[in-house]
A and B are shown apart, each in its own frame.
Chain A
Amino acid sequence: MSSEDILSEIRRDYIYRLIRNGERIDGRKFDEYRNIDIELGPIERAEGSARVKIGTTDVLAGVKMQIGEPFPDTPNQGVIITNAELIPLASPTFEPGPPDENAIELARIVDRGIRGSNAIDLDKLCVDPGNEVWIIFIDLHILDHNGNLVDASSLAAIAALLNAKVPNTKFGIDKDDERLAMNDVPITTTSAEIDKNYIFDPCLDEENAANVELTVITTSKGELCGMQKTGIGKIPVDTVPNIIDSSINMGKKLREMLLKVVEGNRI
């Protein structure tokens, strides 16, 4: 059991007071993300990798691929396995050991977006129907926790997938290594509620001051492909549509930014 981050009362009050005046502790607008930095392919040994920094939150995603057996109900499809590790170097509140509920929830939200949007073309990952398919391992390493791990992790995962190549030659398959076939680029956006205002990309202090967060994952077409409310607070049902609208818009912006980086990397 890890200890919790403690936010002093005076800092909490300060955050609330600012929010009431339409301001945030780092001067951002309510719907403004911190500076986002995406580095593609920092890990050569991985089939795909990406390191994403949102402000000082730092996440490294690695994609490894192996040949394995398909699930009996989908004999012609590849398999996705997503895992997240909150390693102790990232925060004083993270402790070594098997993944706790936060790590599991994080991995499952990232997984939900990728699965829900059908982001990876799983039909193209069949090697021998019923016997051999590609297993895609998406592993998330949290390197520095300064809030909003969900968005940073999702962005890192999807960037790593866009960066991934199927290692055909390594596994003796008579084909050149090829880019992993993708159908969609899901984008995850998270907003936190402070004093009835919803602020995007909460930093650590804001996250600790907030009552509740809502994560919304959107597809390129602007559909919703995953959602998760986290935290012990409650969300008035009438405010949900507004959050969804903002999330769809925000998702569009982040997707454009990501694709620009990916394109630049491919030239």
Chain B
Amino acid sequence: MQSKREMKIEEKPERLIVDGVRLDGRKKDEIRPIKIEAGVMNRADGSCYIEWGKNKIIAAVYGPREVHPRHLQETYRAIIRYRYNMASFAVDERRKPGPDRRSIEISKVSREAIEPVLMLEQYPRSSIDVFVEVLQADAGTRAAGITAASVALADAGIPMKNLVSAISVGKVDGEVVLDLDKKEDNFGDADMPVAMIVDSGDVTLLQMDGVLTKDEFMEALELAKKGCKYIYDIQRECLISKYKKVNSD
């Protein structure tokens, strides 16, 4: 089965930003095209499909429903289970199916990113299950996953105080840029996914990989704020348009 011939390793482009323009033609604060739709699945209580650049991600919500195994139940609130999973074919080199250490960590921080907006106390002893499937990955999957999960939760009618919006910022060729794509993520200097409750200005996810100075961090945080606002508007629009459709049917 195993051949000696290995996949060619992608080489780092000489420059990732030329004259202020990124390889895919974007400006530093420009977000990749996003398509998002709520209620795309039949069985799930709520769902959302998002295409963000080349990312293709489905989020589905089940619940509130009975918790199995029972010992996970909490007496006064619902528990959330968040499963971030990546398809084996989502990346260049086939990944082994199933959870790895990276996806276990992402599942944990993503759950913690959406939990602050959910009114879990309304559903004691039950669970709300969020499944995020990355069908194709193009950097920023955890941010796209949280964005989609948030819409799917709203679509499922789970009582929420607000939506959570997420985006990734980072440093590429020494410059702070918004919404890194795969090349920029692979060959960039830093990557910082951020999730926010836009209305209150609260950060619910903050991670950083790579090196940033304090000033660069401040610049990145500002960009992330703007980015999350943009994402929030898209999420809101997507939910409104779903109900418009329902009304006209």
Contact = CB atoms under 8 A, between A and B. Distances in A.
Contacts of A36: none
A105 interface: yes
Contacts of A231: 112
Contacts of A262: none
Contacts of B108: 101-102, 104-105
Contact of B115 (A112, A232, A236, A244): A232
Nearest to B6: A72
Given A223-B212, A241-B218, A244-B217, A104 B207 contact: no
B116 A232 contact: yes
A230 interface: yes
B201 A237 contact: yes
A234 B205 CA distance: 8
A236 B203 contact: yes
Given A1-B72, A72-B9, A224 B214 contact: yes
Interface string A38-59: 0000000000000000000000
Interface residues of A, number: 36
Interface of B: 6, 9, 71-72, 101-102, 104-105, 107-109, 111-112, 115-116, 192, 196-197, 200-214, 217-218, 221, 225
Interface of A: 1, 72-73, 101-102, 104-105, 107-108, 112, 116-117, 214, 219, 222-238, 240-241, 244-245, 248
25 contacts: A101-B104, A101-B105, A101-B108, A102-B108, A104-B101, A104-B104, A104-B108, A105-B104, A223-B211, A223-B212, A223-B214, A224-B208, A226-B209, A226-B210, A227-B208, A228-B206, A229-B203, A229-B207, A234-B200, A234-B203, A237-B203, A237-B225, A240-B203, A240-B221, A244-B217
